[in-house]
Amino acid sequence: MPKRIGLTPNDDIFITIVRGFGRAKMTREVIKVLDLVPKFGESGATPSLKLLNAILDVLVKEDIDIAREFYRRKMMGCGMKGDDYTYGILMKGFCLTNRIADGFKLLQVMKNHGVKVNVVVYNTLIYALCKNGKVGRARSLTNEMKEFSNVTYNILISAYCNEGNLVQAMVMIEKCFSNGFVPDIIPLTKVIEVLCNAGRISEAVEVLERVEKKGVNLDVVAYNTLLKGFAKAGKVRAGYGFLKQMEMKGCLPNTETYNILIAGFCESKDFDSALDLFHEMKRACVHWDSVTFETLIYGLCSSGKTRDGFKIFELMCEEKGRFLGCIGPYNSILYGLYRDNCLDEALEFLNSMKNLFPRAVDRSLRILRLCKEGGNVAGEKEQEEVNQILDKMSEEGDLLSAPVYASLIRKFCEEGCLKRAVEVTNEMIGRGYFPVGSTFNGLIGGLCRQGKVGRAVRLVEDLKKRGCLLDCESYGLIISGFCKQGEFQEGLMVLMEMVERGIAPDYCIWNALIMLLIQT
């Protein structure tokens, strides 16, 4: 068996060895490859620029300072003049380490040495500038470029989108098109997202259509971004039309596509369409995920359709345990039962969750026990215990359910700790659980009893804006509060608003107003 093949290794062999050492993070051995060149070549043979560039590329990824020293001593020292690829490697090293000033110095060195600065070098520096928030300077750098690539525009379009500068992003899109380039799908998706967030859906559609006419096939992420814009703008029906268009164009919708539209239909209270899409997913062999179930169950339960939500919940439970670890749908059922005033049923359902979520259920039940009549959650010791439970639940992802929030709010109100009650109310609403009248009326009544009617009115206005439905008791508490302060005119204005909303005043409201008139 021969020990040698009798051939001199060429550059490709040496470069392969260099790259192998580079992947193994053996930096010193990479440089030592240079010592092999004279041994296998003619006496005094020097390494080629191609090999030197390969070594430089490996060193740059490890340490720019070592690479820089290698360039000065081993390349410049032996009279080897680097080419545009050499300088491109060094520019990459400077930019990866955010040494932008050194990058500009290198750019000047290239110009002084008569080396053509190619588009890759410029793009590397432009990307580094944009990454460091210096988009304006990056844009100025393009003025000295003689040639561009679609990468140049991709970088600037993405940078302007990240800044929320939609005007300049659209300018760069137009320049990209006019110079014969088409943006890549990632910056294009960012533009669509920014346009949709600004409510400019028609312009987003126009950009997509222009790209498609140039032969670019859009992916499902781009379409999903557009569908989110339609749903956010309340035009989910139009978004559904795009679902069919993307199917016709060969872009198959995924689970997120359906989730976006289901959420949109739930938001617009079109539950028939939401349910149709839910069942269409199964026919189209698109898998349901936890977001699908949570979105639909929450949508149904938050709109008083808890029984329908429970049917979807049962379907979720039949999925062979795939979603047993998702607490969101369970909390949505609890929210629906709370809205329907089925508190005993809610407690029973909460107890049934023990096997799946023992920690969350145990802590919830502890809070409910603390809130029972005769307990005290406003005391310093009790408040500390409650806060510890809430903090631990928040840290460990055990979200509170609506009945637990409601119990805390009522108990804080009963004990006159209104500031804490308002904080819990805000947190409850932030979770998407809007308190019913029996919960927030205690808060309104507590403020009125303390003579803070103005603050109660502001709270009512805030609750109305957030979608909470006020009832006769809510208005009655405000009117009674004004009457106790002798402010008949303000009470009368609240009465008129109440009537305009179709809520009939009860005996107590009329009696409070009449008694105030008699006294005055």
Torsion angle of the four alpha carbons 116, 120, 122, 127, in this order, in degrees rounded to the nearest 10: -170
The alpha-helical segments, DSSP class H, found in 287-327 are: 290-301, 306-317
Q: Judge if 413 and 471 occupy the same domain.
A: no
From 413, 435, 457, the end of a domain falls on 435
- Answering whether pTM is above 0.85, one says no
From 356, 383, 401, the end of a domain falls on 356
Alpha-carbon distance of 215 to 226, in angstroms, equals: 19
Asked whether residue 473 is domain-assigned, the answer is: yes
Asked whether residue 118 is domain-assigned, the answer is: no
Q: Tokens representing 442?
A: 């205690």
Q: Judge if 424 and 480 occupy the same domain.
A: no
Three-point CA angle 404, 409, 413, nearest 5° = 150
Q: Judge if 368 and 427 occupy the same domain.
A: yes
Q: Judge if 424 and 477 occupy the same domain.
A: no
Cα 474 to Cα 446, 463, 471, 481, distances in angstroms: 12, 11, 5, 11
Asked whether residue 281 is domain-assigned, the answer is: no
Q: Judge if 364 and 389 occupy the same domain.
A: yes
Q: Judge if 500 and 479 occupy the same domain.
A: yes
Predicted confidence pLDDT, tens digits, the chain (520 residues): 345 545 666 777 878 887 887 787 787 777 777 777 666 655 456 777 888 888 888 888 888 888 788 878 777 766 677 788 888 888 888 888 888 998 899 888 888 888 888 899 999 999 999 999 999 999 999 998 888 999 999 999 999 999 989 999 999 999 999 888 989 999 999 999 999 999 999 999 999 888 888 888 889 999 999 999 999 999 999 999 888 888 888 889 999 999 999 999 999 999 999 999 999 999 999 999 999 999 999 999 999 899 999 999 999 988 766 777 788 899 999 999 998 889 899 999 999 998 888 888 988 888 888 787 555 555 566 667 777 887 777 777 677 899 999 988 888 888 888 888 888 888 888 888 988 888 888 888 888 888 888 888 888 888 777 777 778 888 888 888 888 888 888 888 888 888 888 888 887 888 877 887 777 6
Asked whether residue 143 is domain-assigned, the answer is: no
Alpha-carbon distance of 265 to 336, in angstroms, equals: 18
Number of structural domains the chain divides into:
3
Question: Residue 494 is part of which domain span?
Answer: 449-520
Q: Judge if 422 and 365 occupy the same domain.
A: yes
Q: Judge if 369 and 431 occupy the same domain.
A: yes
122 within 8 A of 145, measured Cβ to Cβ: yes
Asked whether residue 192 is domain-assigned, the answer is: no
Q: Tokens representing 90?
A: 């060094």
Asked whether residue 52 is domain-assigned, the answer is: no
Asked whether residue 474 is domain-assigned, the answer is: yes
Q: Judge if 366 and 396 occupy the same domain.
A: yes
Asked whether residue 275 is domain-assigned, the answer is: no
From 386, 405, 435, the end of a domain falls on 435
Residues across the chain? 520
